């Protein structure tokens, strides 16, 4: 089965920088360069959907200075790359709780989504102030409100459920986490149900398309039974 949706947990920026005697912010800047390279490569490979974990609902625990620099880097990414994204026919989605973002970030993210909404190539879903648990709690609230309106208190079917989530994208086929840790850290809890998981020891700023290519080769060899039986 060919990969339709690849998700990335972009981890290891801070350690990458600190091991080189640099500030964590420099690590995040290097991380954005990696993000650009991976997006470009995946778009050239015509991967339909990509999700990137950029800032979690738990990352607010970090020092204010680091948080500010992360948002500033994201704003610059959107501003600098908007023309290339449109040229490459890339649709940008931003998933997460927007309301808590700095106003400038909210505006530039909304502008990028609006200006790429017509693009029909790869969809790039950037998860900013995103938490899987928050997404599911929000879905419950939206559904409850809908039920009250319609008087129909049934369980949402798969399609209705997808509409209650931030992006409505199809489930993830493979997840790649860099940075060496083997955990999900509250990412796409619903959509990862049957994803193949790959945990790489390389830091995100060191991730190259060749690493992704190797993962895709391994992915192609995995038997995805999805609860069924292996073909005989
Ligand atoms: C991932 O890199 C980027 C964000 C969470 C924003 P980290 O900043 O978590 O880097 P490490 O894990 O501390 O090395
Ligand atoms: C996961 O990385 C979140 C992002 C990559 C945005 P973290 O560094 O926040 O995850 P933990 O703290 O190691 O679980
Ligand atoms: Mg980390």
The residue written with tokens 């049957």 in the block is: 194
The DSSP output letter for 95 is: E
Can you give the pLDDT at residue 1? 61
* Cβ of 30 below 6 Å from ligand 2: no
Going by alpha carbons, the residue nearest to atom 12 of ligand 1 is 12
Can you give the pLDDT at residue 51? 98
Can you give the pLDDT at residue 100? 93
Judge: domain 5-131+170-220, CATH 3.40.1180.10: yes
Going by alpha carbons, the residue nearest to atom 11 of ligand 2 is 185
Can you give the pLDDT at residue 131? 98
* Cβ of 51 below 6 Å from ligand 2: no
Q: Is the entire prediction scored with pTM above 0.75? A: yes
Atom of ligand 2 nearest to the CA of 181: 13
Catalytic, 11? Answer yes
* Cβ of 185 below 6 Å from ligand 2: yes
Tokens of 41: 């490569």
Can you give the pLDDT at residue 157? 98
Can you give the pLDDT at residue 220? 96
Report helix angle 24-44 to 64-87, nearest 10.
20
Residue spans per domain, the chain: 5-131+170-220
Atom of ligand 2 nearest to the CA of 53: 6
Low-confidence residues in the chain, pLDDT < 70: 1
Going by alpha carbons, the residue nearest to atom 10 of ligand 2 is 185
Give Rg (Cα) of the chain. Answer: 18
Other Cβ atoms closer than 10 A to 89: 13
């Amino acid at each position: 089965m060919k990969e339709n949706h690849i998700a990335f947990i972009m981890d290891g920026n801070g350690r990458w920088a600190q091991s080189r005697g640099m500030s964590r912010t420099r690590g995040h800047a290097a991380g954005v360069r990696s993000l650009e390279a991976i997006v470009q490569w995946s778009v050239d490979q015509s991967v339909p959907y990509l999700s990137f974990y950029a800032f979690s609902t738990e990352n607010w625990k970090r020092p204010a200075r680091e948080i500010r620099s992360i948002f500033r880097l994201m704003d610059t990414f959107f501003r600098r790359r908007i023309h290339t994204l449109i040229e490459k026919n890339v649709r940008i989605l931003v998933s997460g709780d927007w309301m808590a973002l700095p106003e400038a970030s909210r505006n530039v993210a909304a502008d990028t989504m609006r200006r790429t909404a017509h693009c029909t190539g790869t969809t790039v879903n950037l998860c900013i102030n995103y938490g899987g648990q928050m997404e599911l709690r929000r879905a419950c609230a939206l559904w409850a409100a809908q039920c009250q309106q319609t008087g129909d208190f049934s369980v949402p079917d798969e399609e209705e459920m997808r509409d209650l989530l931030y992006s409505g994208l199809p489930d993830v086929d493979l997840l790649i986490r860099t940075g060496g840790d083997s955990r999900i850290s509250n990412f796409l809890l619903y959509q990862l149900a049957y994803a193949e998981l790959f945990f790489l020891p390389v830091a995100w700023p060191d991730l190259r398309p060749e690493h992704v290519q190797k993962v895709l080769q391994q992915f192609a060899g995995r038997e995805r039974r999805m609860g069924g039986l292996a073909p005989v």
